[in-house]
């Protein structure tokens, strides 16, 4: 049963498989505090940006089969975090629902547009010229966001508009995602008790 908008907007999910053990907790009305440990340093750095710039408090503790590679960890963190966000959003009454942000970081520019529609879909137009950033395979960023948006029920479009430095490109994308999520999940004071849909359900 989804919580209504009068309840605290928090979510806490644990996911355990033969490949990973992940716990994620969120407070949508937080201050951007984070406590994140996935075993992949660069991934932690990006998730910290997601928390800081969305003002969502995020705690993630993950242990995975990193002796193989980071794929299962990245995917399962996305699933678990997405489920926690979906739980925290509750019945969606009062949220703005849509968010968009066009963000620059030095020479890089990324755009993210999203909709908490409960119709998950990822459009990923972000291109890298290196295979790895730190210990993170760059192809795993798409896997993470694909898992996140499907678990949370988000339509999510990410577009790289400029950039040559791969670190800047992905960090601008995470920050744009964060700012878009903040916009979409804020309470609309003009429609605080209304569901943002003419269908009567999301």
Structural domains for the chain? 10-185 (3.30.230.40)
What does the radius of gyration of the chain's CA atoms come to, in whole angstroms?
Answer: 16
Q: Which pLDDT tens digit goes with each residue over 1-18?
A: 555 545 789 999 999 999
Q: Is the distance from CB of 163 to CB of 130 less than 8 angstroms?
A: no
Residues recorded for the chain: 202
Phi and psi at residue 181, in whole multiples of 5°? -65, -40
CA nearest neighbour of 172 among 112, 125, 82:
112
Other CB atoms within a 10 A radius of the CB of residue 18 amount to 7
Query: How would you write the pLDDT of the chain (202 residues) with one tens digit per residue?
Result: 555 545 789 999 999 999 999 999 999 999 999 999 999 999 999 999 999 999 999 999 999 999 999 999 999 999 999 999 999 999 999 999 999 999 999 999 999 999 999 999 999 999 999 999 999 999 999 999 999 999 999 999 999 999 999 999 999 999 999 999 999 999 999 999 999 999 988 9
Q: What pLDDT is recorded for position 6?
A: 54
Question: Where does the chain have alpha helices with state H?
Answer: 41-54, 71-89, 139-152, 166-185
Looking at residue 200, what is its pLDDT?
87
């Amino acid at each position: 049963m989804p919580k209504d908008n009068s309840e605290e907007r928090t979510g806490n999910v644990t996911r355990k498989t033969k490949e990973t053990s992940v716990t994620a907790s969120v407070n949508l009305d937080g201050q951007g505090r984070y406590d994140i440990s996935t075993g992949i340093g660069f991934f932690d750095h990006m998730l910290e940006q997601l928390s800081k710039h969305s003002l969502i408090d995020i705690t993630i503790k993950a242990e995975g089969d990193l002796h193989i590679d980071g794929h299962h960890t990245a995917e399962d963190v996305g699933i678990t975090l997405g489920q926690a966000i979906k739980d925290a959003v509750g019945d969606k009454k009062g949220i703005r629902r849509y968010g968009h942000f066009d963000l620059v970081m030095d020479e890089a520019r990324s755009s993210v547009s999203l909709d908490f529609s409960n119709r998950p879909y990822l459009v990923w137009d972000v291109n890298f010229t290196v295979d790895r950033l730190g210990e993170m395979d760059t192809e795993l960023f798409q896997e993470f966001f694909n898992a996140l948006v499907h678990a949370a029920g988000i339509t999510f479009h990410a577009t790289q508009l400029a950039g040559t430095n791969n670190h800047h490109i992905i960090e601008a994308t995470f920050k744009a995602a964060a700012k878009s999520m903040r916009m979409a999940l804020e309470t609309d004071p003009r429609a605080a008790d209304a569901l943002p849909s003419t269908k009567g359900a999301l």
